[in-house]
Amino acid sequence: MVDLSGTWLGTYWQGESPTRFEAIFIQSGNSLTGRIQDDSSLGEAQLSGEVIGRRLSFIKRYLINRKTSVSYVGTVSEDEDFIQGQWTIKGYDIGPWEARRSGESLTLNLEIQSSKVASPLGGVAQGIVRA
- Residue pLDDT tens, the chain, 131 long: 899 999 999 999 998 899 999 999 999 999 999 999 999 888 899 999 999 999 999 999 999 877 779 999 999 999 999 999 999 998 677 999 999 998 654 444 333 333 333 434 444 444 444 33
Q: How far is CA 65 from CA 41, 45, 46, in A?
A: 11, 9, 11
Which structural domain range is residue 82 located in?
Answer: 6-104
122 assigned to some structural domain:
no
117 assigned to some structural domain:
no
112 assigned to some structural domain:
no
Q: What pairs with residue 89 in β-bridges?
A: 93
120 assigned to some structural domain:
no
* Secondary element (H or E) of residue 49: strand 44-52
What is the count of structural domains for the chain? 1
128 assigned to some structural domain:
no
A 10 A CB-CB count for 83 gives 23
Q: What pairs with residue 29 in β-bridges?
A: none
Give the predicted TM-score (pTM) of the model. Answer: 0.75
Q: Which domain CATH number covers 40? A: 2.40.128.120
CA dihedral for 36, 87, 16, 92, sign (positive or negative): negative
131 assigned to some structural domain:
no
